[in-house]
Chains A and B, each alone.
Chain A
Amino acid sequence: AQSVTQPDIHITVSEGASLELRCNYSYGATPYLFWYVQSPGQGLQLLLKYFSGDTLVQGIKGFEAEFKRSQSSFNLRKPSVHWSDAAEYFCAVGAVYGNKLVFGAGTILRVKS
């Protein structure tokens, strides 16, 4: 069965500092991997996705993520965090067929000035 682990429930970083959010997945085949962001009271916005090919993927808002098959990881990074990045971030894995996403528990990002 698919599963996603986000080991950090909360992370606090200073504005301008770099960010890395961790994500580990369990899936029997090549996964489809996603990072979504959710602001309070809102839906989910897609930041980036990995389906195949280049293991370093670029997304919106300056985010990137690297797929490492050997570590079953898909960590999200940003070189310089802005106060507007404060939100909850979800990593998700999807199957090749069908539109069922399995989400991690989420990481709440706080940005201090």
Chain B
Amino acid sequence: KAGVTQTPRYLIKTRGQQVTLSCSPISGHRSVSWYQQTPGQGLQFLFEYFSETQRNKGNFPGRFSGRQFSNSRSEMNVSTLELGDSALYLCASSSDDRVNIQYFGAGTRLSVL
């Protein structure tokens, strides 16, 4: 099976712009979670989507949003970018059975200038 695929791998944006990141989960997985990784704050949970519905949400401002499509692919959007949004954004998918293991993609490195 193919793993979790995130595109693009690298992005450079300027303050005030918006950005969309994409995540394709492992085939058959219905849960997709997003995490932000920064040197200062570490790994922080953004949100989780399951069957096209947001099921869990972390403590991030409303500028961070996401959605999931019927094929379980997910997108994350950040509007009005700030310098502090520079981070590695990781996507993880899970089959959401009892085992509950999350498999991570390689991430998208976002740099905000």
B12-53 interface mask toward A, CB cutoff 8 Å, 1 = contact, 0 = none? 000000000000000000010101000000111100101000
Contacts of B58 in A (CB 8 A): 100
Decide yes or no: A99 and B92 within 8 Å by CB, A42-B106, A43-B106, A49-B101 being known contacts: yes
Which residue of the partner chain A has the closest CB to B91? A43
Looking at chain B, what size class is its interface with the partner chain? 20 to 34
CB of A80 closer than 8 Å to a CB of B: no
A99 and B100 contact, CB distance less than 8 A: yes
Per the bound structure, the CA–CA distance linking A33 and B58 in Å amounts to 19
Instruction: Name the one of B42, B56, B105 contacting A98, with C-beta atoms under 8 angstroms.
Output: B56
A39-53 interface mask toward B, CB cutoff 8 Å, 1 = contact, 0 = none? 001111110010100
Which secondary structure dominates chain B's binding surface? Answer: strand
How many pairs of A and B residues are in contact by the CB < 8 Å rule? 61
A100 and B45 contact, CB distance less than 8 A: yes
Which secondary structure dominates chain A's binding surface? Answer: strand
A98 and B45 contact, CB distance less than 8 A: no
Per the bound structure, the CA–CA distance linking A102 and B41 in Å amounts to 12
B89-107 interface mask toward A, CB cutoff 8 Å, 1 = contact, 0 = none? 0101010100111111111
Which residue of the partner chain A has the closest CB to B57? A100
Instruction: Name the one of A43, A45, A99, A106 contacting B94, with C-beta atoms under 8 angstroms.
Output: A99
Per the bound structure, the CA–CA distance linking A101 and B104 in Å amounts to 12
B101 and A46 contact, CB distance less than 8 A: yes
CB of B63 closer than 8 Å to a CB of A: no
Contacts of A49 in B (CB 8 A): 101
B45 and A105 contact, CB distance less than 8 A: no
Which residue of the partner chain B has the closest CB to A106? B42
B33 and A43 contact, CB distance less than 8 A: no
A103 and B43 contact, CB distance less than 8 A: yes
Q: Report which A residues bind B (CB closer than 8 A).
A: 32, 34, 36, 41-46, 49, 51, 90, 92, 94, 98-106
